[in-house]
């Protein structure tokens, strides 16, 4: 079955990125900041989905950030799929949430100032390390859902 997957969250360079790597079975939890695209503000600002890799069937796995409007963006993407006469079998959007979304967004915005970014980077890493199990659980639930469908 061909199915591209977009993991969608507030910031595509953090928790949806972790989810995408986890889904691909390539997540190394010893240092999550080594993941490709991690903290890449330029890619985040560009807006298009970040191609994290391909699964064993050759389907693209992507990470995407939509700020505070995650649900609205999910709705638009799902409608785009329908407009092009495609279905969930072609592209599926999976939202990824963490408890400390607001703090993460605040840190990300504060980090736009270079001097502050040095302080923010380890804080973001610490914060997301605390959320790893919850993110992995969301990916596992998604895997089960896809398997079941």
Partner 1 sequence: MKIIYHCFGGSHSSVTAAALHLGMLNRNRIPTADDLMQIPFYDKTSDSDFGTIRFMGTDKFGHDVYVMGKKSFSNRYSSILMGVAKILESQDKIIMVNCMDRVNWSMKIGGFTSRRLGWAFLGRPIVSWGTARAFAQLVNLVEITRLKALQNKHDPQAT
| Sites of contact with partner 1 (CB under 8 A) | 4, 6, 45-49, 60, 62, 64, 66-67, 69, 71-73, 75-77, 79-81, 83-84, 86, 90-91
Q: Least distance in Å: CB of 58 to partner 1?
A: 13
CB-CB neighbours of 147 under 10 Å: 7
6 and 66 Cβ atoms separated by less than 8 Å: no
Q: Which is nearer to partner 1, 46 or 99 (CB)?
A: 46
Q: Least distance in Å: CB of 75 to partner 1?
A: 4
Which residues 6+ apart lie within 8 Å of 109 measured at CB?
A: none
Q: Least distance in Å: CB of 98 to partner 1?
A: 20
Distance CA 33, CA 123 (A): 11
Whole-number Cα distances in Å, 140 to 134, 143, 144: 10, 5, 6
Q: Which is nearer to partner 1, 77 or 132 (CB)?
A: 77
Q: Least distance in Å: CB of 9 to partner 1?
A: 13
């Amino acid at each position: 079955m061909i199915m591209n997957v977009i993991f969608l969250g507030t910031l595509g360079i953090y928790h949806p990125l972790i989810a995408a790597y986890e889904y691909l079975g390539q997540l190394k939890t010893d240092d999550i900041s080594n993941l490709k695209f991690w903290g890449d503000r330029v890619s985040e600002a560009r807006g298009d989905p970040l191609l994290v890799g391909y699964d064993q069937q050759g389907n693209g796995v992507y990470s995407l950030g939509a700020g505070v409007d995650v649900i609205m963006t999910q709705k638009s993407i799902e409608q785009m799929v329908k407009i092009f006469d495609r279905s969930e079998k072609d592209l599926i959007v999976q939202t990824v949430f963490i408890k400390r979304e607001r703090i993460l967004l605040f840190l990300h915005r504060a980090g736009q100032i270079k001097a502050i970014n040095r302080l923010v980077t380890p804080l973001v890493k610490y914060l997301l390390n605390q959320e790893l199990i919850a993110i992995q659980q969301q990916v596992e639930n998604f895997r089960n859902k896809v398997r079941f469908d």
